[in-house]
Amino acid sequence: LPALVRVAVCGGTHGNELSGVYLVRERLKKKKKEEADTVSVMTVMSNPRAVQQCRRYTETDLNRCFTAATLSAPVSDRTPYEIVRSQELNTLLGPKGTDDAMDLICDLHNTTANMGLCLISYSDADWICLHIYKADIFNVMKEGVQLVLDWIHNFNSGVWFDGGEVEVYTMVKNIDYPRDAETRTITAAIHPQL
């Protein structure tokens, strides 16, 4: 398997998920250099406008803006900010699907669900708390990012890993909320019994 040499650590995709925001701020301030020997790590604040407003997004969910159609759509003055930003991020981290694209992107999120540290991996290849900034969540997220980077160093150095079992989440598809056609405002909620 090829080495993972280009890695991005991204936070603030949702501007109100503060653990990733603060971890990215810390990494940018410290400009960590220890990864430079085997892996190049880029740290990115994904959605600075939503972070500034401490909102999930300003016009549309940035995580839903990385389809081929959206990334290649023409941009105008009326284009939602997150669509413009997704195209900027695609240029910075990709372009998606090219040889120049990042080998791994760690997109940092947190939730109000009691799920501990959760690594959701998505790749085209098969091999690979809201509005709250809590120290325990931040520290676990920080440790998780460091463990991923340590694993990449070991992997790139040819370290052999013993097998084991891991519970894995696999993305099947994205389902967005129903929205008003003009305002893009959410027009429905998740049923309370789901």
Write out pLDDT tens, residues 69-114: 999 999 999 999 999 999 999 999 989 989 999 998 999 988 766 6
Q: What is the pLDDT of residues 29-75, one digit of tens each?
A: 887 555 556 789 999 999 999 999 999 999 999 999 999 999 999 99
Strands 104-107 and 40-45: unpaired
Tokens found for residue 106 = 């760690």
Domain count, the chain: 1
State which residues form the domain around 102.
6-156
CA gyration radius, the chain: 18
User: Does 76 map to a domain?
Assistant: yes
User: Does 17 map to a domain?
Assistant: yes
User: Does 194 map to a domain?
Assistant: no
User: Does 182 map to a domain?
Assistant: no
What is the reported pTM? 0.68
- Reading phi first (left if > 0) and then psi (alpha if -120 to 50, else beta), residue 12 is in left
User: Does 48 map to a domain?
Assistant: yes
User: Does 145 map to a domain?
Assistant: yes
At 127, the pLDDT band (50, 70, 90 cuts) reads: very low
CATH number at residue 88: 3.40.630.10
* The pLDDT of residue 128 is above 50: no
